[in-house]
């Protein structure tokens, strides 16, 4: 990995380089995606079936697009029982963590006859997009569906591309059933997002769409935003390790590669105060890359967006970590809890040398759907809050309104909204 001394110029170059990974930069695909979205909105099922046959080489119709109970039973028979046990343990941790995020409605009454409050209501329906192809990501299925189930969403719809056999990957399907999906449809790509957003004869529309996908899926979510809610427009995965000279270079190297293997646009960055650690980590990375199965992806990812930055002080290292606002941040220092208090921007923070990033991906419980491309400056991990909405509650008695009606009328008149003022005034005409 390249080793760079951290200064103002290298910091500026790095931040500009990382911005190239933003999905919003891929405008060349937007016309194609918009055309698919509009076609599905217009032709509905007919368009969905046509795109599925064209892209996935599978011919489906209204009778076969939805996964049946029989297909779910067949999927269970194909999944390794040991993997089922692991998934159930992971689910317990995920559900326990997200249960703590639940919010209750609240009301506050005062002696003057006013009641104010907030009513919390789960969304009625959400759509969860799950990538297909050769790979299966049951962990993402659990992370997207379980918070919705905890929030109380009554209709949880999963969409995922079918394989050439017209079936959903059995591990993906079992994970969806375990987590609480109420419906599963065999459709992927931008056409799946459009179907969820606008509805078709076979796929009723939803209120919100979540879940990862390729650039076509990301841009489709962007295109339908406003017709439905979305979680985010996710970019490539990324990890930043913040370390001092106490860190184990072999552990750090392994953790950097755990994200670099996702794809060629993934980012893996070490920020350290130790030049000695920098060289040792670089050597360990070279050794690991030669032995790992996704070598070509790892090499390209590290060539494109792999960095080791050597800072003059921990304060400088923390500063650049906050600027990068990484999706995953590992703190491997003598006192990681102290350093953590100075971190403002990160999707998920992993503390100490035994809290490596895959612990969060698969098992610990916190959600692994995290803000990317610096959006941790203002976005949070996926959670129960993403599956609820809030309504304000206002009640005033006549006596309570009488005490303040003059002030409200003056405020409305100052904005030249006389009908607003009149709406208050008419209640006290007899006075």
Residue 332, token pair as written in the block: 């491997």
Residue 189: how many other CB atoms lie within 10 Å: 25
For residue 328, indicate whether it is catalytic: yes
How many other CB atoms sit within 10 Å of the CB of residue 326?
A: 33
Task: Tell whether pTM > 0.85.
Answer: yes
Is a pLDDT exceeding 70 seen at residue 134? no
State how beta strands 267-272 and 208-210 pair: unpaired
Residues in the chain: 431
pLDDT tens string 162-211: 999 999 999 999 999 999 999 999 999 999 999 999 999 999 999 999 99
pLDDT > 90: what percent of the chain? Answer: 90
Query: Residue 203 and residue 196: Cα distance in Å, rounded?
Result: 7
Which pLDDT band, with edges at 50, 70 and 90, does 384 fall under? very high
Residue whose C-alpha is closest to residue 21's, from 242, 269, 195, 223: 269
Of 238, 261, 284, 327, catalytic:
327
Distance CA 83, CA 174 (A): 11
In whole angstroms, how far apart are CA 369 and each of 55, 58, 128, 139, 416? 27, 30, 12, 10, 47
| Mean pLDDT along residues 272-285 | 98
Per-residue pLDDT, 24: 67
pLDDT value at position 19? 76
Q: Please give the distance of CA 144 from its chain centroid, rounded to a whole number.
A: 8
| Closest C-alpha among 73, 43, 40, 302 to residue 174 | 73
What is the secondary structure of 280-313 as a DSSP string?
A: HHHHHHHHHHHHSTTHHHHHHHHHHHEEEEE-SS
pLDDT 10s digits, 242-254: 999 999 999 999 9
Is 98 assigned a catalytic role? no
Strand order in the sheet with 3-5: 3-5, 306-310, 267-272, 238-243, 328-332, 348-351
Q: Catalytic pick from 177, 262, 328, 368? A: 328
pLDDT > 70: what percent of the chain?
98
Per the structure block, which two tokens stand in for 56? 């996935």
DSSP string, 161-193: ---TTS---HHHHHHHHHHT-SEEEE--HHHHH
């Amino acid at each position: 990995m390249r080793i760079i001394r951290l200064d103002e110029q290298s910091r500026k170059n790095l931040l500009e380089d990382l911005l190239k990974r933003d999905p919003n930069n891929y405008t060349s695909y937007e016309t194609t995606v918009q055309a698919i979205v509009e076609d599905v909105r217009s032709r509905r099922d007919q368009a969905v079936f046509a795109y599925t046959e064209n892209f996935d080489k599978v011919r489906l119709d209204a009778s076969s697009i939805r996964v049946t109970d029989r297909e779910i039973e067949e999927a269970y028979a194909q999944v390794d029982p040991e993997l089922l046990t692991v998934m159930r343990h992971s689910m317990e941790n995920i559900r326990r963590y997200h249960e703590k995020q639940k919010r209750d409605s609240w009301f506050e009454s005062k002696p003057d006859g006013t009641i104010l409050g907030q009513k919390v209501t789960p969304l009625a329906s959400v759509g969860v997009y799950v990538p297909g192809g050769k790979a299966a990501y049951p962990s993402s299925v659990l992370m997207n569906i379980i918070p919705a189930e905890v929030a109380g969403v009554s209709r949880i719809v999963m969409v995922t591309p079918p394989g050439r056999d017209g079936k959903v990957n059995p591990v993906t399907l079992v994970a969806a059933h375990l987590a609480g999906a109420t419906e599963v449809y065999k459709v992927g790509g931008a056409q799946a997002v459009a179907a969820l957003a606008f509805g078709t004869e076979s796929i009723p529309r939803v209120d919100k769409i979540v879940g990862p996908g390729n650039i076509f899926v990301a841009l489709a979510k962007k295109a339908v935003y406003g017709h439905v809610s979305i979680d985010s427009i996710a970019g490539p995965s990324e990890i930043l390790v913040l370390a001092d000279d106490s860190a184990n270079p072999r552990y750090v190297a392994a953790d950097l590669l755990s994200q670099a293997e996702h794809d060629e646009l993934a980012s893996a960055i070490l920020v350290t105060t130790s030049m000695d650690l920098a060289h040792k980590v670089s050597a360990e990375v070279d050794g690991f890359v030669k032995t790992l199965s996704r070598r070509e992806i790892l090499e390209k990812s590290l060539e494109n967006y792999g960095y080791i930055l050597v800072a003059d002080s921990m304060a400088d290292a923390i500063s650049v970590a906050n600027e990068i606002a990484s999706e995953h941040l590992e703190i491997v220092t003598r006192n990681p809890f102290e350093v953590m208090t100075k971190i403002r921007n990160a999707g998920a923070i992993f503390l100490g040398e035994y809290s490596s990033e895959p612990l969060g991906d698969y098992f610990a419980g916190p959600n692994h759907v995290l803000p990317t491309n610096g959006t941790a400056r203002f976005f949070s991990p996926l959670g129960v809050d993403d599956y609820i909405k809030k309504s304000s509650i206002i009640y005033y008695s006549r006596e309570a309104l009488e005490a303040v009606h003059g002030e409200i009328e003056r405020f409305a008149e100052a904005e030249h909204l006389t009908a607003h003022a009149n709406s208050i005034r008419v209640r006290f005409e007899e006075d």
